[in-house]
A and B are shown apart, each in its own frame.
Chain A
Amino acid sequence: MKKKRYWYKLDNAAKIFPAVSKDDRSNVFRLSFYLDETVDKDILEEAVNKVLKRFETFAVQLKNGLFWNYFASNERHYIVEPEPSELCRYFKSTQNQGYLFKVYYFENKVTLETFHSLSDGSGALHFIKSIVYHYYKLRGFKIDHEGKILGELPSSKKESEDNFISNYNKASRRNLKEESAYHLEGERFSHHWVLFLKARVDSKQLINLVKTKYQCTITQYFTALNAWSIYKETVDFVGNKKPLKIFVPVNLRPYFDSVTLRNFSLYIKATYDSERTDWTFENMLELTKEQYKDQLDKDKLQSRISSLVGYEKNPFIRALPLILKQIAFKVGYKILGESISSCSISNLGKVDLPSGFKGKIKDIDFVNAGYGLAMTLISLDDHINVILSSPLKDLSIMNHMISFMVKDGLDLILDTNYKEGYDEIL
């Protein structure tokens, strides 16, 4: 049963986002489900409000304490909105009935945009799956949930657990010193608009390519492709003192037996030396594989969790009033957060839906609008969507990636939020 009043401390990953988020760094990610019918706004709103009662970790508002922010229960009625033209737009929770997520509708599309303090991709995916399932239920469809819709299952205390804290081990802390990374620079679209370019590819074709030709995983292939395209298409990378660092969030739940709906992911990174001039796609891929193997180790991941949690357990940091912490977060993020990453790749994997959804959910998008270039991967039925998003007007890196995939024999179907005539507006 849902508690009437409750509160949570922000988890380790969530703590920094309220202080550092702004119009051009929203820390918001998007999941969209394309349905087989035009979305009924009223039914969608009813579905969201029903499902919210089950998802305690989403039914919250951000509050200021003297020392830390915290999440307090939020019982306000949630109002869905028409989708805006900007992806992953920064929003103030105070203008959203206190909630830290947005549910939008547009024609046959239901979109959930989540502020990263609240949850990561895995948690948000459970939430939107439950919303869409409930939407169809209210529409009168009888679909067996087959145990795949969390909103239909009894809630567990484990869903709201802070697994960063529960996996903290003081003894395994280590120094997390990071050097600055190469950054993609260039003219940006105005109004904080982000370009979205989706390449839809057949799953079997892609898996066959990466397994037989490259003997790697899909994420490793795209990490190396990202690096290779940046190496080939930028004029200031080679000779730059800073290396290229591609950040790849790893879902920690399988490693630590977690079912939390709150943030529980950590970045691993693929680093490529900018002083080297003999890079080929193949040697970038080999290096990527080595780095993945090295970093995807449970003990090493736990050691990093402990180091990160160690910072927030520091008595001096804890005793700082929130207002000073916010200033420190802003400065720290500028020095340690933003500058250490060049771009990111996030793979949410295959979305497991009940068989009754076959034909009802036409497609799914997953977008993580970051600075520079962000790549996201999500799979539904027999296809994988490779989604590129960028606030930069220069498309040469995206162009190189698409050409490379085509040369590798992949059949691509592209879609974009760009329209002819947008050049005059953006």
Chain B
Amino acid sequence: MKYCKTCHVHYDNTLEHCILCNGELDQVGEELSTYKFPEIKKRSKSRFFYRLFLFLNLVSALVTLYIDFADGLPLTWSLVVGITNIYVVVMFLVLAVPTIWTHRLTKSVIITVGSLILIGLAIRDVDWALDFVFPFAVMSNIFIITLLILVNKKKWFDYFSSLIFITIIGLVPGLLNVLNLTVVQWPSLVCFAFSTFTLFGILILPSKSSREEFKRRFHI
């Protein structure tokens, strides 16, 4: 035990000086105190590289935009670079947030498809993205999660929200067909049908536990 004769308090700690008055502490008796917490270690500024990464992406997007603009060119390749920069940053953020991997996969698929559609719009040729990339990416995602649920039944409720979400997204290509925004229609039609069947499967073939899961997810 130690004692501060200025503040008149005892210390059960390894401090040499009083935290309140900075006066030297006197040892009182034989009993030695211990420090009861883990010591803090000097840490590097870990966010520096993250900020540098954001900065470089921003610089890259602005420089290409400026070059295109200064040369009087249509903003094509600079938009592609800009979209890619944003895509890289968003993907980094999605992958850095710890969550179950089906959520990451679903988010990654949606962001990738969205970016490819934007690139398609930037190069004035979006059909390949809307006709093929969008429906096939969504169908693959639905297929993987469905397979995962069937294989790992114990954890199906962890994957449930991802499945519901991507299945609803899977209905969008059907809407694009109706609005005549697609050229090759069969992939979108297949995707729409696949999503509809999956959605009906979730709604019509529920076990008691899946009904319970609906109740949880949609309680108001």
Contacts and interface: CB of A to CB of B under 8 A. Distances in A.
A94 B98 contact: yes
Interface of B: 1, 7-17, 19-21, 34-43, 98-100, 157, 161, 209, 212, 216-220
Contact of A92 (B40, B98, B219): B98
Contacts of B14: 419
Interface in A381-426: 395, 398-399, 402-403, 406, 411-420, 422, 424-426
Contacts of A406: 7-9
A106 B38 contact: yes
Contacts of B100: 94
A67 B220 contact: yes
A137 interface: no
Nearest to B34: A107
Category for how many chain A residues contact B:
35 or more
Contacts of B34: 107
Contact of B219 (A65, A106, A109, A403): A65
Nearest to A8: B216
A85 interface: yes
Majority DSSP secondary structure for residues of B touching A: loop
B39 A419 contact: yes
Contact of B11 (A95, A398, A415): A415
A333 interface: no
B54 to A, nearest CB: 18
A318 to B, nearest CB: 5
Contact of A191 (B36, B43, B161): B43
Interface string A48-78: 0000000000000001111110101000000
A85 B41 contact: yes
Contacts of A412: 9-10
A298 interface: no
19 contacts: A67-B220, A84-B38, A86-B40, A94-B99, A106-B36, A107-B36, A109-B36, A199-B9, A395-B19, A402-B7, A402-B9, A415-B12, A415-B13, A416-B13, A418-B15, A419-B15, A419-B39, A420-B17, A425-B41
Interface in A64-117: 64-68, 70, 72, 82-86, 92, 94-95, 106-107, 109
